[in-house]
Chain A
Amino acid sequence: MGEALVPGAREAGVAHFIDQQVSVSASEALLEARIVNVRPPFVNFYRGAIAAVDKASAARGGKRFAALLAAEQHDFIGQLRQNKIDGWQGPPAGQVYFVLRSDAVDVVFGTMEGYESLGVPYMPHIAPDKRW
């Protein structure tokens, strides 16, 4: 879903980012989830979100989210954002949208490389020695 939320997220490593961050302790995690009141362990939120997305996607059209056409994915995310998916079972849909979108923004735009891609000077006091 990251790629559908922010183009370039797959190549920027959004799956690795989330996998790696849910494997460390909550106090060390760099995830937006910690800012928006998701209770640790954060892996539970992501597991619940993925399961709910695929279940809702299958209920709507018989296919998991990853198997949807790009236009279908866009429509699904639009419904997810507005909490309008019938029978949604999982973490609050709006929160799922917000957190996953933030994760994708982080890896695509929030790194030094991401700033450079937008033509924005990064200007660090102390530069991160790795992306995450």
Chain B
Amino acid sequence: MATQEKVDVVIAGAGASGSTFAAVLAKAGKKVVLIDNGPDWQLTDLISSDMWGRRIKPAGPPFILEGKQVAPIGYHGGWGVGGAALHWFANVPRLLPNDFKIKSEHNRAHDWPIAYEDVAPWYDKVAHDIGISGDAKAEELWRPAGRDYPMPPMRTFKNGEVWLKGFAANNIRMVPAAVAMNSTDFKDRPACIYDGWCHVGCPIGALANPLVTYLGEARAAGAEVRAWSTVTRVLTDASGKKATGVEYFDRDGEKHVQPASVVVCASWAAQNPRLLLNSATDKHPNGLANASGLVGKYMMTHITAVTNAMFDDDLEGAKGTIGGQFMSYERYSKTAHKGAFGSTLLVCGGATKVSGLTGIHNARPDLFGADLAAFMKRAVKGFTRFTAACEEQPKIENRVELVTQKDEFGMPLARIVHNYDDNETALWNANFEEGLKIAHATDAKDVWQMRTAMPAIHLMGGTIMGTGAANSVVNSFGQTHELPNLYVAGPGIFPTCGASNPTYTVFALSLRAAENLASNWGAIAG
């Protein structure tokens, strides 16, 4: 075993949240090391192909999936430097004020220990750090005023525009979708060329992946990235009150200890609880930061209700971006749909490629043989779809827990159990019903929906924030209640998940937390 020289901060995971912490702290003069279990991807690795694009996603992640609606791993997960944000769709809707106080307003789920107003300045700051295109003023139909985005909205295309008639007929106001992509040149990055390959990684940096934003800044400020290295334990001192570093294995299987003054767990939402649970000691017999018993609990996902349509026009669906062209918070009230509870975000106009999980063929997964071939020829011209993203309410039964089976480093695998309940089913169905009304008010020739299985996307929760160790794992900065120099970052700290894509909020919360840490370094790092 090799013990490395002590650093100020060690970060497990070089994705969206880890990169943000690294940038802030490295620029504050701290010695920062990021440890990531996959390759050190470069922009030149981001090949425009659904097949080749699978290389930047996990292969056999150390989780066993159970439940009726199994947790999303393969498609949504990240593997390697940049994490899932290397291939994110870059939709950046934000959470709204009603997401932060569900308990107070509806006596359900949890309140966040902070309000929208605490996060809003950080949303605005992120927008100007990484580059967001959109129309902030238009969004003020539904949210408090803030700063304008640094770039105007992206171009729109027929595959998005054809839906507007249907939304208008149902009194749903659509606004330009906010996306972390460049509608114009931004900083030293070029404008988007609308080729629709965002989901396998944008090698020109028009899409704000970590390599061209916070991770690039972190490296420029001296942060070190150790790829192909897997953190297996967070280490603590004899008192159990302070984290002292991490244990990790390199690509050759050699074990290392990386001492640090501050430890940030910034892995995937299911990996952070796995790591904390595997770091149990005599002082923390149930895992680190787990006095509440809530490490691994309240895993959440978003449900999507997709409405498909075929038009006679050539919509050129492969063009544009994988992010949306238009979005709406019109159904974001928790009680927008009668008989169902939870928010819905509406998005239309993402580019659709020919193959891959989101490819045209999977709009009709029931077709094969000559029927599929005929559908493909028609769909490459006339197919489009829109998505209603729905909120899941947190349930303690949805969880991550260790199992006896172990990985190649001797670390226990984890089981992720995930099920929706009748409320989520009702919300999903309500959105399907409205989706049909919207689609039938357009000029579509055929309209259909696939209601065979409820999708689960965007894994969140598992290390939720709250007011204290009795009801949560971390505070609003991701600082664990029990070990002040141990942080958790990412969507795992959300106590409720709203219906908005999580990564913008991940960036905002991480930036807020990292700047707080930098400002209070002496008190926290000791």
Contacts and interface: CB of A to CB of B under 8 A. Distances in A.
Interface string B53-78: 01101111000010000100111000
Contact of A35 (B75, B193, B354): B75
Nearest to A132: B51
A123 B197 contact: yes
Contact of B357 (A32, A40, A119): A32
B355 A106 contact: yes
B355 A126 contact: no
Contacts of B59: 26-27, 29, 34, 40
Contacts of B368: 4-6, 74, 77, 81, 101
Contact of A128 (B52, B196, B356, B377): B52
Given A26-B60, A30-B55, A6 B47 contact: no
A10 B369 CA distance: 12
Interface stretch (B154-162, B358-366, B427-435, B460-468): B358-366
Interface in B360-413: 361, 365-366, 368-370, 372-373, 376-377, 380
Nearest to A29: B59
A29 B54 contact: yes
A73 to B, nearest CB: 9
Nearest to B314: A119
Nearest to B58: A34
Nearest to A127: B48
B70, B204, B354, most chain A CB atoms within 10 A: B354
Nearest to A81: B366
A35 to B, nearest CB: 4
A109 B48 contact: no
A111 B361 CA distance: 14
A28 B57 CA distance: 10
Contact of A124 (B70, B197, B370): B197
A28, A31, A105, A132, most chain B CB atoms within 10 A: A105
Contacts of A115: 318, 354
B195 A30 contact: no
B75 A118 contact: no
A109 B367 CA distance: 15
Given A32-B54, A106-B50, A110-B51, A125 B60 contact: no
A120 interface: yes
Contacts of B65: 37
B318 A110 contact: no
A39 B51 CA distance: 18
Contacts of A74: 368-369
B195 A125 contact: yes
Contacts of A7: 369-370, 373
A36 interface: yes
Interface string A30-54: 1110111101100000000000000
Contacts of B51: 30, 106, 110-111, 128, 132
Contacts of B203: 125-126
B14 interface: no
Given A7-B370, A30-B55, A109 B60 contact: no
B204 A125 contact: yes
B195 A98 contact: no
Contact of B48 (A29, A30, A39, A124): A124
A90 interface: no
Given A26-B59, A77-B368, A114 B354 contact: yes
Interface in A51-104: 74, 77, 81, 98, 101-102
What size tier do the contact residues of chain A reach?
35 or more
Nearest to B50: A110
Contacts of B75: 35-36
A35 B54 contact: yes
Contact of A123 (B195, B202, B357, B377): B195
A34 B376 contact: no
A4 B368 CA distance: 8
A37 B355 contact: no
A132 B75 CA distance: 19
A110 B377 contact: no
B49 interface: yes
A36 B376 CA distance: 22
Nearest to B355: A110
Contact of B202 (A6, A37, A101, A125): A125
Nearest to A80: B368
Interface in B120-145: none
Interface in B316-356: 318-319, 354-356
B54 A31 contact: yes
Contacts of B376: 109, 118
B4 interface: no
Contacts of B359: 105, 109-110
Contacts of A110: 49-51, 354-356, 359
Given A5-B368, A118-B376, A40 B60 contact: yes
B46 interface: yes
A29 B60 CA distance: 11
Contact of B197 (A111, A120, A125): A125
B196 A123 contact: yes
Contacts of B319: 121, 123
Contacts of B70: 37
A105 B368 CA distance: 10
B3 interface: no
Given A29-B59, A105-B359, A118 B380 contact: yes
B49, B193, B365, B377, most chain A CB atoms within 10 A: B49
A-B pairs, 8 with minimum CB distance: A110-B355, A124-B48, A123-B195, A26-B59, A35-B74, A40-B60, A30-B51, A34-B59
7 contacts: A5-B368, A6-B372, A30-B55, A105-B359, A115-B354, A125-B204, A127-B48
Given A102-B361, A124-B49, 17 more contacts: A6-B372, A7-B370, A7-B373, A27-B38, A30-B52, A35-B54, A35-B74, A37-B70, A40-B59, A101-B365, A101-B368, A109-B355, A109-B361, A110-B359, A119-B380, A123-B318, A132-B52
